[in-house]
Structure 1
Amino acid sequence: MRTLLTILLMIGGLTALAGPRATPADCTGAAVAGSYIPLSYCLEDMPQGDSLQLMIEHAFGLQILHSVPVENRAVFMLPLSLSRKAGVLSVQLLSRGQSLHHRTLRILPDTSHRGALEAYAGPKHLITDHEDHTMVVVSLLDSMDNPYPPGALVNYLLMAKGEVQSGERPTGVLHSYMRMKAPVKAGYGSITIRADTVSHTTFRVNFYANDPEDFRIMAEREHGYADDKQLISLTTDMLQDRHGNVVGNGTIVHFLITNSEGARTMAVGRATEGRAEVKMPAPAYPTTWQIRAEVPYYATSSEDLTLDFKASLTGYPLHYTPVTRRLTIGPVRGFTGHYLADATPVKVRVLTQDDTVRLDTELRDGLATIQIPAEISSWRAEAEIATVIETFNPQAKNER
């Protein structure tokens, strides 16, 4: 008898030490985001009037909910701030600081309703010839901005100048992506992204010509005389890449000109609708131009262009009046018989036995006049206009 009583007292003590117990009544480890989510527990040996705490650890921190059991049952309602966000929650039921139950709750995105598609494509300005590409990145989201679970399929479609690229990629932890190459033809194109049960979006993309190929240059002029007035047009043919795409407006072309004396001149043109043009004044004296052109670092003219310039002035008279000691130069006429322009420089050198006197002047109405100083008795003169030199020696009576 005494032994039986001892056993009963031991059983009662162990029962008291075991304390209250709890088991989940909802029997679920997952829920869909978007609505209130109840978490219920069945309780055993719960002291009457004791309150319970539900400690929830989530991505943003820690939150504690309170509830009072009713008929050995406790129900906690997850607030919307937690139930609308997909992710994993660590849930622990507490009573008087003691853990009664611990479990993990997974909240899944709501894929039963039409979601949203967020996408980025860049760059949107590409070089043709399949050498350049744009990266398209896509995230699928439910109505509460929760990313879709991995494995959701995304369809990609690029259409440009009759060329079509398409592909299908699954989402990863957060996004799906695809590299879409530029076509061989310049112009415009569109990239469309679509996913089932999710909206679609479209991007506009520009495709530009690749590096230009070598090209030809041409010259256009009215005549072949070095008159210092005529404007000579230097142009390229169509600047294109190897697929025939025309280079963009504003592409810089350097025209490099070397004359017979080795002097170099550069003129800069910009392409308009595939062609570049510059205008250069004709030289003032006979010479030959060697012309080449280049798109810096990319392409050059396939052949140099040669332009010869003849003298526009072949000679002119000099007349000396002894009474007034005036030397008249001209009339000076060009290759068409017209007077050379006013202000054309005239270089005059008066040479004596001991010295050379410069008496430069300019043409007016085809003539120029200089006064020979009275102190000069024995002399001869040289006049130079546009590299054409004429001489006069009054002692030899070489008046022209």
Structure 2
Amino acid sequence: MRIKLTYILFFGLIFQSSFTIAQENDTSAKIELLSTQSNYDVGSKVILKFSSAETKTPLFYCSNSYGSTLVAATLKNNTLEYIIPKNITKKIGIVNWKLLDKSGVLSGKFYMQPKAEVATMETYIGPPSIEAGGTDYTMLVVMPTDSLDNPIPENSLVTTKYQFLTSEEKDAIYTKNLIAYKNINSKKEDGRMLISSESLEKNSKEFTINVTAAIPTNFNITATRPHNYADGNQVTTFSTSIIKDRYNNIVSDGTFVTFFITNSKGNILKTTGTTIDGVANSKIIHPDYKDNWSIKAYVNGMAESNKITLNYIQVIKDFKVEFSENNRTITVGPLKSFMQQMIPDGLQVTLTIYKNDKNIETLTKTSFNGYVKYRLKPAVYENGTYNFSIKTAGKQKEFKTVKLW
């Protein structure tokens, strides 16, 4: 009898447990979504409602591309209400949600759609300088956004405006993938281009693009000088013609021009200049001896000039050398120029000293008032016989077996 009662109690407990689980499943199944709207304007208040026959208020999970959150419910007249937080509703895009009840089967999504209004115009443009000719371009990128910093709806009209020289133009572009963009090509002329954009009566600020001259074409050079004497004092000035590109635009100020000078010995001298209003100038001192120059200029890697030649006439045909004070003072001069005037200060004179046919020292000085003096100290140059070579203005004199005492 006792065993029978035990079996009856056991089966009764199993039946009661099954009834309780079925009742809970039925209760969970009674929670249904009442809200039918799936699209909301961004920034608007979003409330999702569910019917419920219970007093339980399960949590509501929602997530978008900016993050996730849990929302507590408010129960009113057997209706669960979930107010979506503003940090979710103020961003456009899909919001996924799930009701965290025991069944876990209620889930869905809704879409926060952008407003057709523009509060700000995020505009980017570059590069800020382009080359004239029509092949180079700058890119304008516009992202109109609403008051919540969301991009406006797809295919919204953006009007680009640009002014160049005497022309003004407009183009219509449309937003795609959150932005609108346009490549703006240069014209054949150089100058400044002003660019702006507009969308839904909201205007961007003004941007400036510099349209600079294209690659320069070949040019001519000239030389001016006060005379053609090789006095080592006066200055020869090299000048270019107005350097232009193939569209007849003057190259930008600061274009670097290098003048290469090849002398009669095959040595190469170099002087440089930069353009102002398309013309570059550069200066170089005359040689101090007879010479022939061949000059050509280059804009490195882009353009070159014609070749010109210059001849310089020897001004010092001879000079005197005097030994005094035990031959330890050597005076060179007077050094006279083309009108028999004293050569300007700064003419270089070189003294080379030999002993036993061996070069022991080379001394270089510059002229002052037409003379150069060398003093050979006994502490440095012992008494004995030396050979001397003196060179200036391309002329050279040799003095053999000079005795110092």
What is the TM-score normalised by the length of structure 2?
Answer: 0.75
State the partner residue of 1:241: 245
Alpha-carbon distance change, 252 to 107 in structure 1, aligned in 2, over 3 angstroms: same
Q: Distance in 1 between matches of 2:316 and 2:337?
A: 5
Q: Could you tell me which residue of structure 1 aligns to residue 182 of structure 2?
A: 178
CA distances 1:316-345 after superposition (whole Å, capped 9, x unpaired): 689999xx9x99987553222312346756
Query: What is the rounded CA distance, in whole Å, between the counterparts of 2:268 and 2:395 in structure 1?
Result: 23
Give yes or no for the alignment of 1:309 onto 2:312.
yes
2:128 to 100, 115, 124: 124
Structure 2 Cα separation of the partners of residues 327 and 203 of structure 1 = 72
Q: Which residue number corresponds to residue 291 of structure 2? A: 287
Equivalence for 1:387: 394
Work out which of the residue numbers 262, 280, 286 in structure 2 matches 1:258: 262
Q: Secondary structure at the match of 1:313?
A: coil
Contact 2:61 2:68 in 1 (8 A): no
Q: 1:66 aligns with which of 73, 86, 90?
A: 73
Question: 1:103: Cα distance to partner?
Answer: 3.4
Q: Which residue is 1:108 aligned to?
A: 113
2:339 to 336, 341, 359: 336
AA aligned to 2:394 is T
User: What is aligned with 2:140?
Assistant: 136
Deviation at 1:230, TM superposition (A): 1.1
Partner of 2:236: 232
Distance across 1 between alignment mates of 2:332 and 2:196: 80
Q: Which whole-Å CA distance do the structure 1 matches of 2:293 and 2:126 have between them?
A: 48
Residue of structure 1 equivalent to 2:5: none
State the partner residue of 2:38.
Answer: 29
In structure 2, the gaps of 5 or more residues are 1-18, 376-383, 400-405
Kept in 1, the 8 Å contact 2:342–2:370? The answer is yes
Structure 1 residues 340-378: Cα deviation after superposition (integer angstroms, max 9, x where no partner): 3467566799xxxx99xx99998775578999xxx99xx
Instruction: Tell me the alpha carbon deviations over residues 79-117 of structure 1, each in whole angstroms, 9 at most, x when there is no partner.
Output: 22222222222234454x124744321111222x44322
What's the CA shift for 1:306? 0.8
Any stretches of 5+ residues in structure 1 without a counterpart?
A: 1-11, 393-400
Q: Which of 157, 160, 165 lines up with 1:161 in the alignment?
A: 165
Aligned to 1:208: 212
Output the CA distance in 1 between the equivalents of 2:82 and 2:319: 116
1:158 counterpart SS class: strand
Amino acid at match of 1:313: I
**Displacement, 1:305?**
0.9
Aligned equivalents of 2:125, 2:115: Cα separation in 1: 26
In the alignment, the residues of structure 2 paired with residue 42 and residue 81 of structure 1 have an alpha-carbon distance, to the nearest angstrom, of 26
2:57: which partner in 1? Answer: 51
Q: Of residues 79, 84, 90 in structure 1, which corresponds to 2:85?
A: 79
Contact 1:38 1:76 (8 Å CA) reproduced: yes
Tell me the equivalent position of 2:276: 272
Structure 2: distance between partners of 1:30 and 1:203: 38
On the 8 A contact 1:158/1:192 being kept in 2, the answer is: yes
In structure 2, relative to structure 1, the CA distance for the partners of 1:342 and 1:30 (3 Å cut) is closer
Whole-Å separation in 2 of the counterparts to 1:164 and 1:40: 55
TM-superposition CA deviations, 1:26-79 (whole Å, max 9, x none): 431111122322222345xx14x3334433233312423323241x33332222
Quote how far apart the aligned CAs of 1:256 are. Answer: 0.7
Distance 1:89 1:73 in 2: 22
* Kept after mapping to 2: 8 A contact 1:158/1:180: no
d(CA) in 2 for partners of 1:235, 1:28: 78
Q: Mean Cα displacement is larger for which, 209-218 or 24-33? A: 24-33
Matched letter for residue 64 of structure 1: V
8 Å contact kept, 2:233–2:344: no
Cα contact 1:138–1:176 (8 A) shared by 2: yes
Q: Equivalent of 1:194, from 198, 203, 210?
A: 198
Do the aligned partners of residues 329 and 202 (structure 1) sit closer, same or farther apart at CA in structure 2, a change above 3 Å counting? closer
**Secondary structure at 1:201's aligned position in 2?**
coil
CA distance in 1, matches of 2:369, 2:34: 117
Q: Helix, strand or coil for the counterpart of 2:197? A: strand
Of stretches 339-348 and 28-37 in structure 1, the one that deviates more from structure 2 is 339-348
The answer to which of 133-142 and 226-235 deviates more is: 133-142
Query: Normalization by structure 1: what TM-score?
Result: 0.75
What is the CA RMSD across the aligned residues, in angstroms? 4.2
1:61 aligned counterpart, secondary structure: strand
Deviation at 1:272, TM superposition (A): 2.9
Structure-2 separation of matches of 1:391 and 1:54: 109
Matched residues in 2 for 1:343 and 1:101: separation?
A: 100
- 8 Å CA contact 1:52–1:67 kept in 2: the answer is no
Identity of aligned residues (%): 23
C-alpha distance 344-92 of structure 1, shift in aligned 2 (>3 A): closer
CA distance in 1, matches of 2:71, 2:331: 114
